[in-house]
Structure 1
Amino acid sequence: MNAPHAMGALAARDIIVSVDGTRLLDGVTCAAARGRVTGLIGPNGAGKSTLLRSFLRLQAVDSGQILFGDRDITTVPPHRLGRDFAYLAQGQTIHWPLSVEAVAALGRDAYHTPFARMDDEDQAAVAHALSATGLEALKARPVTSLSGGEKARALLARVLASEAGVILADEPVAALDPYHQLAIMELLHGLAHDGGDNDGGDNDGENNGGRSVVIVLHDLGLARRFCDDVILLHRGTVAASGPAQDIITPEHLEPVYRVRLDFAASGAVQPVARLDGTPDGQPDGAP
């Protein structure tokens, strides 16, 4: 296994994003540090996925700046982005009956010219990715024959095989059962903290040895347990940001989500009652 590539900090400076006349991000300034898991949290429509895509240049920015280390992201050549960044999109699907191993191997495309054969380093990276996601026994199976959770893990294996220094994942555990939710979050936490696997859940210390991992999450309990830092978005702006233990609190979350929350000793965060108003500022009413 090689060391991950270009593991610098990622930052947005006063970015504005509009689509079809609607402002989706309005003056967002935030950062995701190397060696830490940064969670993007907030209600539906807050701008989480838009911010993630802006980091990757997949979403045009009206104004402001995205920085990778001390470099403007627009100056990074596309082939370098392919090695430095790995992206797991929300609801991503694969329609071709590729094997699970072939899907994982797509993560190595940025290292080769089209149709080039994989070398020993590529094979080792793919094997590690399949092992880390628990897919070794399924590597010959067509990905189209897998369950939703297995497909999600195959797509994550592609991300891991890239050995990118920055991992951006949009709701990576949304389709998974509780066991695999924990397994994937532990894996991502380990990638941030030491470049490999660990049991997660300890987000108190500083670390500069792993990757920058940025995750969009709706499960506040998982964010509380596995994220070192969080960025709380609300209506396209940053409502709060900082260490997870400081931001995932009733004082910060309840006014944004418009629900009363119960914080369990286990780390779980559960909504228990709706408050007046709605997260998007519209009148109350059932969805």
Structure 2
Amino acid sequence: MEQQAHVTTKQRVLRQILADPLAMVGGSVIALVFAVAIFSAVDQFLLERRLITALLNDPYATNREARLLGPSVEYPMGTDHQGRDVMARVIYGTRTSIFVGVTAVTTAAVFGILIGAVTAYYGNLTDMIGMRAMDVLLAFPAILLAIGLLAVFGRGITNVIIAITIVYTPIFARVARSEFLSEKSEEYVDAARVIGYPDRRIMIRELLPNCLTSITVQFTFSLALAIIAEASLSFLGVGVSPITPSWGMMLSQARDYMTIAWWFSLFPGVSIAITVFSFNILGDSLRDALDPEEGSGGGGMI
């Protein structure tokens, strides 16, 4: 019965996406973005940037004689203030955004689900302590909290992931707690207790599968927000290292050249906008398929 329900849910999601042209476009763009991120990771860590150098130019190589050149056959998206290929750096920046976003949001979802499940299942003092701790984190604007954490941790990809994880864990904890609270009073939970299932098994095997709808939708929207967060932190100079290709860092470096080199800021900015928009429209379609009564209202912004 569970297998059939699971298959039916997948079919419903697939039909919803196939019936929604915007969701199809969003899904295709996201698939392309992930493909580009995988390509750049394989090329850098396994092939020592040989592929990107053969196709375009080394994204890390500077060339003072090619500074701020406009789009051309050799440089399809122009060059930056150090003569680096903008298109090559946009491609490699995709890996940074996707890696940070997926890693941070996945980690936040795991911790958030754990906190939400435990506080909802046991209630009383456990619920009060856990939720008040989440309220403390939610009391701060997300971007300001991330900046404060990075001021303590220092810049770098690992620290950006940690900061974004801490910022988004309370959101998943709230969503998970709400779902677990609504499910734990159902008869199948009482039956599991009568049979003698331990609490851990009840939470993981019985409750969690029935609480994944809202969590899955929140995961999709949070990926878009995490990409914006990483770009914002890098733009403000507290994110990744300046030499690391990152869309936000490229925008930060392009601020002084916007009037004389429009391509320097345009292409990384468009990359952020298209990627975030694609995640949002796909998230809307998933929400309509998984929770039709919820309706569509878009995702929140950081």
Which entry has the higher C-alpha Rg, 1 or 2? 2
Shared fold by TM > 0.5?
no
Question: Is the strand fraction higher in 1 or 2?
Answer: 1
